[in-house]
């Protein structure tokens, strides 16, 4: 096998030349692709008994990639959605390889032909207004941590920022004058501004007067002055939701994550009569189609539409009777 077909060489060029230099992808994309190939090489060590640096392109054929994807679902318990994300990274690599190693186009095309798996699209989960208020009331605002957590959760529930956008906010990203808003860099490194309610503006005004922790520049720092991690935010949210259970029992039946707060912000806007195209801009969605999922979750809108329908007239139901054995077979499915 030619040295150029060594996977280590191709992977290095894929990350440094294609992703970083040519496409200039975000750090989040790099991290996601890195994790995919880390899992792939760990699987190869067990299945092929080869170290990652010894792998050749011929080792990564469609049969091997298919076995890896199955292993993700069976042994690691990955969802179909996660499996598809891993496959997206692998496809990107093989599209790059198709130009670097055209002699292996047959192998590459077979890998690229591996289909994504269909999966159930679950309805979005969100909190009602009483549930949001119970969570916001949970932090102990007599302490620095409690005041930080309350302000963070209030901003998250009102702005609908993604978790990465929220933890990435700096103090100078907040504008509290006329037209109060926060600026963030979202998915696809698109900068956007999100307006603040009077309540959120007042909370942030009070929070920014708090003494700085070790010269922190992050709007919501940890006790050491650094940025909060995603796990830290999930942990503090879980802690306050458990406290909120006492005053709002309906929260016990819900799994509340930072993304649920984002969904809740979207549903608040929808219930207020805001158009979907405006909500898409507010949340930083690439397409209005993404925002349509909130319409599916909004039961009140469906009930209002149902009330406008004319009821069916009572009559005898007729059942389809197949007159052919093939039609009978299809009817039985």
Residues with active-site annotation: 162, 187, 259, 262, 285, 294
Residues pairing with 227 in the sheet: 221
The helix-helix angle for 276-283 and 288-297 (nearest 10°) equals 110
Using CA atoms, how far apart are residues 202 and 145, in angstroms rounded to an integer? 18
Closest C-alpha to 292, from 266, 258, 320, 322: 266
Cβ–Cβ under 8 Å, residues 146 and 139:
yes
- Residue 291, Ramachandran bin (φ over 0: left; ψ between -120 and 50: alpha; else beta): alpha
b/e map of 67-93 (b: 16 or more CB within 10 Å)? ebbebbeeeeebeeeebbbbbebbbbb
Calculate the alpha carbon distances from 330 to 56, 162, 318, 319, 320 in Å: 47, 46, 18, 15, 12
Using CA atoms, how far apart are residues 153 and 163, in angstroms rounded to an integer? 11
Cβ–Cβ under 8 Å, residues 153 and 139:
yes
Per DSSP, the residues of 93-127 read HHHHHHHH-GGGHHHHHHHHTPPPPP---PPPP--
Sheet strands side by side (includes 174-175): 174-175, 181-185, 191-195
Matching residue, tokens 């792939």: 40
């Amino acid at each position: 096998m030619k040295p150029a077909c060594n996977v280590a060489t191709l992977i290095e060029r894929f990350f440094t030349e294609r992703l970083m230099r040519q496409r200039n992808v975000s750090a989040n994309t790099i991290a996601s692709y890195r994790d995919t190939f880390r899992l792939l090489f760990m699987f190869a060590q067990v299945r092929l008994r080869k170290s990652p640096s010894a792998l050749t392109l011929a080792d990564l054929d469609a049969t091997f990639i298919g076995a890896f994807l199955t292993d993700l679902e069976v042994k690691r318990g990955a969802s179909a959605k996660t499996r598809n994300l891993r496959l997206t990274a692998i496809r990107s690599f093989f599209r790059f390889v198709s130009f670097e190693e055209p002699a292996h186009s047959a192998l590459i095309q077979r890998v690229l032909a591996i289909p994504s798996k269909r999966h159930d699209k679950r309805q979005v989960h969100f909190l009602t207004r009483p549930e949001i208020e119970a969570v916001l009331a949970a932090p102990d605002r007599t302490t620095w941590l409690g005041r930080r957590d309350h302000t963070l959760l209030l901003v998250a529930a009102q702005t609908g920022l993604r978790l990465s956008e929220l933890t990435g906010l700096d103090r100078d990203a907040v504008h509290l004058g006329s037209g109060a808003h926060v600026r963030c860099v979202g998915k696809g490194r698109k900068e956007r501004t999100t307006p603040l309610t009077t309540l959120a503006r007042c909370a942030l005004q009070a929070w920014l007067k708090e003494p700085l922790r070790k010269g922190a520049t992050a709007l919501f720092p940890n006790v050491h002055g650094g940025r909060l991690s995603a796990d830290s935010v999930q942990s503090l949210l879980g802690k306050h939701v458990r406290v909120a259970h006492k005053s709002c029992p309906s929260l016990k039946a819900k799994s509340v994550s930072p993304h649920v707060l984002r969904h809740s912000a979207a549903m608040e806007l929808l219930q207020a009569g805001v158009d979907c195209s405006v909500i898409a801009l507010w949340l930083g969605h690439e397409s209005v189609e993404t925002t349509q999922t909130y319409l599916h979750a909004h039961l009140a809108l469906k009930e209002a539409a149902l009330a406008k329908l004319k009821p069916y007239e009572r009559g005898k139901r007729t059942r389809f009777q197949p007159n052919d054995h093939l039609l009978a077979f299809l009817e039985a499915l």
